[in-house]
Structure 1
């Protein structure tokens, strides 16, 4: 059986790392795993031309949301032996789920592997934006000492309204981490969680109210037909003047050019996140040079601790596949010819 994985190339690190499993060489220690089972394992750092020769005979395809390979219907049609598409991480929108369902290809991901890491990253970026950390850091590096220039755009988080769009595992953890800052927490999600509202100190509001009343909005929703460019020019125009947005979910939830224009016009006070569209983001992506931003590359969910959780979860899913055992329901996105994940079934 041939298994193909798309992962980042090996790079020389500035100093030794205690782990770093996320590349074609380490590959979450899957080389040893598949060798012990007698399967052929091919790792690629390019999902375009280099994948083509392997489509005809690959049985399992593995990639990650941080370095996604877009498995389109056209590629699926040229992969007659494909039985499983596995996301080593969380978020499978880079696979054509309907095409996978039509072909009875199982789609699975390592649910929960990144929730702590992404929640911490989101809280960090909220604070970075409000405190104008980037401006202060640039002065430290550039030899400046212009305090008014930084302080004129710095705010306390205390007393602000923070809107959480998407209240699943990550959104809930963001709420728990923000509550000690004495903020007003509101959330919107297709599934209201009244059982958690008192515990986490959150209030359920409509999407429109969240957009129009939040000082900072943090996005934790999957990319679906309903959320694709949901934060378009109209929605961005209805945010509060000088509001902030953090997006560690998926870049395509935001309308690319509309975001740039909102920041340039001064309507939004700042934007941060680590998700882009497409990924990897090209060097000339407009978000790289837009003002008032604190973007990072997509690494919020790939701390060394998260990478170890991904390794363990990926191997567990593969074990179940090879042994003919049922997968954990929470890990399944497509199974038995149907999209079974509630996140991707939202209408």
Structure 2
């Protein structure tokens, strides 16, 4: 009897066909809507493998209800939506997709930085609203990127890729991380600093750290108060790392100059979210890794992880406690 795999979002045919060579596959057919909780609860009770995304909370009760589950493979780098301890107690492998999306997410992060710095969304709206009447010496003036100081919080693969892009603009690269990254310092000229110095001296601050209990609201009111009033804050990691109320107040009160956000604490956000009322906020709908080739590579890696575990092998990218 073939092992049973449930996929929580509609995937391309080639991914399904790969799994169907050795597995029985069931799938939530919609791509733009999360699987209903009732369906997820029903499927996980019988599944040998679960192919999930960042939108599904795979919590302890759900995991404990699984009778046959051997692997939870998420199509993401982050896995804070999965109860890792509960899975470990039941000897269920958790696998994720690091590395494959680093360059693509770094592209988006730097694009967000540039758009916020040069006020591109405001410029686009000005033309769309027929408000551009004449050239003006200080109309929509933004902030220089070249030769500015880029502070990176979390110098993992994506952080290093963002730093690499910053070197092309002759930026001074400083970073804070749990451990020093000697290779990044040698290759990129990055300089390790304590968090306070990074917050106080950076012109652009990019958060690239994983979301954990320790990093929840890492960037809070006190952090924003330490930043330059010309600083631009970028978050393309996870929304929960930032106290959004504190960010709103910092922007509204002129404590920092702008923000570029690809992620929010509660997603999706509605048009009535307070941060979206501020013209100095450049906001995107969590599309950091959203290039066609990268998303296909992530889906393929996720399928491979399931096949590896169900065939008795270790997943290439297993999450370890």
Residue number in structure 1 paired with 2:169: 181
**Structure 1: runs of 5+ lacking an equivalent:** 8-23, 340-347
Shift of 1:301: 0.5
Task: Classify 1:47/1:287 alpha carbon distance in 2 versus 1 (closer, same or farther; 3 Å).
Answer: farther
CA contact (8 A) 2:154 2:209 kept: yes
Shift of 1:152: 4.8
Residue number in structure 2 paired with 1:84: 71
CA contact (8 A) 1:28 1:311 kept: no
Residue number in structure 2 paired with 1:107: 94
Aligned partner (choices 314, 318, 321) of residue 332 of structure 1: 318
- Distance in structure 2 (CA, Å) of the matches to 1:325 and 1:76: 21
CA contact (8 A) 1:6 1:63 kept: yes
SS of the residue aligned with 1:86? strand
- Distance in structure 1 (CA, Å) of the matches to 2:168 and 2:196: 26
- Determine whether 1:41 maps to 2:26: yes
CA contact (8 A) 2:19 2:307 kept: no
CA contact (8 A) 1:186 1:202 kept: yes
Count of paired positions? 314
- Please list the CA deviations of residues 151-185 of structure 1 after superposition, one character each: whole Å capped at 9, or x if unmatched: 45412112211101111111111111110211111
Aligned partner (choices 99, 112, 120) of residue 133 of structure 1: 120
Residue number in structure 1 paired with 2:308: 320
Residue number in structure 1 paired with 2:48: 59
Shift of 1:33: 2.3
Aligned partner (choices 12, 15, 28) of residue 30 of structure 1: 15
Shift of 1:93: 1.0
Shift of 1:327: 2.4
Shift of 1:319: 2.7
- Determine whether 1:293 maps to 2:281: yes
CA contact (8 A) 1:223 1:253 kept: yes
- Distance in structure 1 (CA, Å) of the matches to 2:319 and 2:302: 14
CA contact (8 A) 1:6 1:46 kept: yes
- Determine whether 1:198 maps to 2:183: no
Task: Classify 1:180/1:42 alpha carbon distance in 2 versus 1 (closer, same or farther; 3 Å).
Answer: closer
SS of the residue aligned with 1:50? helix
Shift of 1:196: 2.5
After superposition, the CA RMSD in angstroms is 2.0
**Structure 2: runs of 5+ lacking an equivalent:** none
- Determine whether 1:245 maps to 2:233: yes
SS of the residue aligned with 2:126? helix
Runs of 4+ in 1 over 6 A off after TM superposition: none
Aligned partner (choices 149, 158, 167) of residue 161 of structure 1: 149
SS of the residue aligned with 2:63? helix
- Distance in structure 1 (CA, Å) of the matches to 2:14 and 2:267: 24
TM-score, with length taken from structure 1: 0.84
CA contact (8 A) 1:2 1:42 kept: no
CA contact (8 A) 2:220 2:243 kept: yes
- Please list the CA deviations of residues 11-46 of structure 1 after superposition, one character each: whole Å capped at 9, or x if unmatched: xxxxxxxxxxxxx1x346332223322413222632
- Distance in structure 2 (CA, Å) of the matches to 1:135 and 1:229: 28
Residue number in structure 1 paired with 2:84: 97
- Distance in structure 2 (CA, Å) of the matches to 1:123 and 1:145: 27
Residue number in structure 1 paired with 2:295: 307
